[in-house]
Structure 1
Amino acid sequence: MQWKWMCSLVVCAAALVAAQDASQPEGPAQPTGPAKHGGLFSRKPKVVLSPEEEARQKAEIQRQIDVLPRQGAPILDESGKQILDPDARPMFQPAPRPLLDKHGQPVLDEDGKLLLQTKDHLGYDAHGKKLKAEKEKIPKKVPVTIEQGTLTVDGWTGKARLNYEIDDLKYLYIYAPGIGNTVVSTLPFPGATAQKNAFDGKTLTISVGEHQLQIAGEKPLLHQKHPVPAYVLVDREYSRESRFPVMGYGPLRRAPYAWPAAKAVETRAPALPKEVMPVLARPAETPGKQP
């Protein structure tokens, strides 16, 4: 009985609402847009433009895109000097790019100005795929220690008492007159060839044609127990105003190279032992001439 009574009540209420609607005079249709204060699913009504206005807007957007710089700002170090990449080319920030929506269209602000991508907001690509910032991988550091080291070329001492404490080795330079500059790294790089077991404990031994370059110290050069290959590139066109071999390190693998000063570097080779000192030959006697 209770169920029948509830159904009757619903039917009566529906009939009363229909009667009230029929008694109201017809008038203009009420807008069906979103409420004044909006809602979770409310949408901004799309503005319909005339073909001429739409063409003008597209032309203005294209004009703003065309005037964007083709190259970003230069990347500077702490001293304000432009940073070079490993191939000695100036480095720049990425060129500014327009921010696109999920439909691949440029996004404008309220004044019609083109919005640009930011580091944290890349927007979408032309196909509607959301762009995500790539996480920068921090490369593993390669510390190198050279304590009381000696640089030899073909067994001859070119420089002694070398002391280097390198926090992160990028490229090691060994310059020798008549050979050029030899660039060495523990990682592969363009143009370099691998030499197995070059870093072996306290020594680094490199072959350049028929020549052998070696650095030897009192402590292991790399913080590793097993031998490590070296990747070597020889720049035979490079020359320095030096009659003796020169050693350095830096972030460039092309000229101009960086040659920072080492700690307590002895510029002259140690004196040779007396037993190997050269002895001048006596002039040959002329027959018939008294000494």
Structure 2
Amino acid sequence: MNESKCPVEVTPRIARWRIENIEACFWHQSKPFEIGRWNWHLSVEKNKQIIIRLFPQASTFAKERPPIASFVIRVFYFTGRRRQILHLEVCRRKLRDSSDFMWAIDPGLSGKVIIDVEFFDLKAAGVGEPVSIWGSNRLPDAIVPTISALRQLLADGAFTDITINTSDGTTAAHRAILAARSPVFCSMFSHNLKEKELATVDVTDMSTASFNAFLQYLYGFIKIEEFIPHRMPLLHAADKYDVDDLREACEASLAEDVGRGNVFVRLQNAHLYRLQTLKSACMKYLVEFGRIYDLHDELITFLRNADRELVVLVVQEVLAAWKGD
């Protein structure tokens, strides 16, 4: 066996393995790479056909909680200066060892080959109903010693002293908590502004559901099932009310599951809110891993509607990647 000297390049959902000369050995195996909760290997075996395998590295966790993976695997190879692509989409395949996924392709490939795996979903089997790992393993760091009492105060509406008017209703909160967690709220309630005099705050750019999720974060007991679907309005609220820890939590979570269905929206929000980590994750997905060429309609919409400065940045990155190739 020949273990490739080239490490596998990864984002949270994509792995890319470059083999400089596929003819050099009958069996190539990648170095281990981490995606989700597992370390993985790719391997290539040359016989009558070329066999590509994808499998988790042996471990106690992989044995007890094997991954159930949905992914597309692509093979890029070159005939002269022309790049060719083979691809295969796999849905809900349980991967326990190297025998669970094998893809036989043309044995005539030679020279440089790139194997690219993009995971659409990963679930852990073994205990109860498998659920997607993405968005299920990162809770915002918002724990406070009095979490139980604060949860009860908000749930009961006990001693609330401020009314929040949202876009579709009202909710109530405690000024002291809002002021302690947000310098913007603190300023509102410390000066003779209308919010202090009327004991109301108008938040017409958020729904009641989204603002309640915001309150749950400020009070310290938000659950992941509330956090994930409200990440974008929570990011807006974090920026508007200057809650830095929430802003960081939203950016980290959004960067974890950048994919074809959200990358352009997230790129625009990363630009709007000056989120460099999220912007880098989006640009890496689009340019470094070449997914911009698969999203023609979405790209046209983005070019027509996005901020001009951001459009120029994307075009410059694409041109730089071309020159680099």
What TM-score do you get using the length of structure 2 for normalisation?
0.18
Structure of larger gyration radius = 1
Q: More relative contact order in 1 or in 2 (CA 8 Å, sep 6+)?
A: 1
Q: Between Structure 1 and Structure 2, which shows a larger proportion of strand residues?
A: 2
What TM-score do you get using the length of structure 1 for normalisation?
0.19
